[in-house]
Amino acid sequence: MRVGAGRMRRGVARAALLGAVLTGCSGASGEEPESRASASAEASGAGSAAAKRGGSVGAAGSACELPVTFDVAASWKPKAVDTEPAGGDDELTRELADALLHQGPVTAACEVDAKPAGHIGFLRVWTGEPGDSGARSVLEEFVAAEEGAGHAAYRTFEAADGVTGAEVTYRYTSEALGETKEERALAVTTRRGPVVLHLGGLDTEEHRAMLPAYELAKRTLRVG
């Protein structure tokens, strides 16, 4: 019963978060349609396009200190996630914050915002405590904890310096909005605990447009 309640809160939290994003977009300047058009144009070639490197994140002194490091696409802005958001005295606020900050065995640690690059979405990094679970198990728990996730296809991948892990592509369906979109994530294990990189997006079009940035991160991923 507690698991079901947790999944329900996560679904509500995601719907609330997406609603906030949509509200913010509707009040944006007239530059937004141009950004959306750019994202749409890039989406058709996302599978072959290569993202230009804009820096890296994960090392000590970077925007987010993580158990891994990877390159960030140009104009994407990384920011550490505050795990103790303001307004914590309200029970509902605490529950929604908990649903957004924790998913399965991992906790949100960093988000790389695509908005400055003209897209609507984030590449999010989640970290967990050290344990015996392999990358595939961590990833399966991560997806299972997401209410509305389905059609998951898992595979292995190899990144820089022989780093190996698990990757998944799946569909997320929001019952509140009546929409389904593609998402994907990867997981690796480190001596400091598991790490999950997740790419969502406002919709499937945006998700595909942001794939070059995700592939850059995956290709350059190194365990710190």
Domain boundaries, the chain: 2-223
Question: Residue 57 in contact with residue 69, Cβ under 8 Å?
Answer: yes
> Within 13 Å and on the Cβ side, how many CA atoms surround 155?
6
Tell me what pLDDT residue 114 has.
97
Q: 82-121 as b/e, with b when 16 or more CB fall inside 10 Å?
A: eeeeeeeeeeeeebbbbbbbbbbbbbbbbbbbbbebbbbb
| 60 alpha-carbon distance from chain centroid | 21
Cβ of 123: how many Cβ atoms within 10 Å?
25
pLDDT in tens, the chain (224 residues): 344 444 444 544 454 444 333 333 333 333 333 333 333 333 333 444 789 999 999 999 999 999 999 999 999 999 999 877 555 567 777 777 777 899 999 999 999 999 999 999 999 999 999 999 999 999 999 999 999 999 999 999 999 889 999 999 999 998 887 899 999 999 999 999 999 999 999 999 999 999 999 999 999 999 97
**Cβ burial, residue 214 (10 Å; 0-12/13-18/19+):** buried
Is the pTM value of this prediction over 0.85? no
Q: Which residues pair with 215 in a beta bridge?
A: none
Q: What pLDDT shows up at residue 86?
A: 59
Query: By C-alpha distance, which of 196, 212, 79, 204 is closest to 146?
Result: 196
Number of H helices, E strands in the chain: 6, 11
Q: Is the CATH number of domain 2-223 3.40.470.10?
A: no
The rounded distance, in Å, linking the Cα atoms of 31 and 118 is: 9
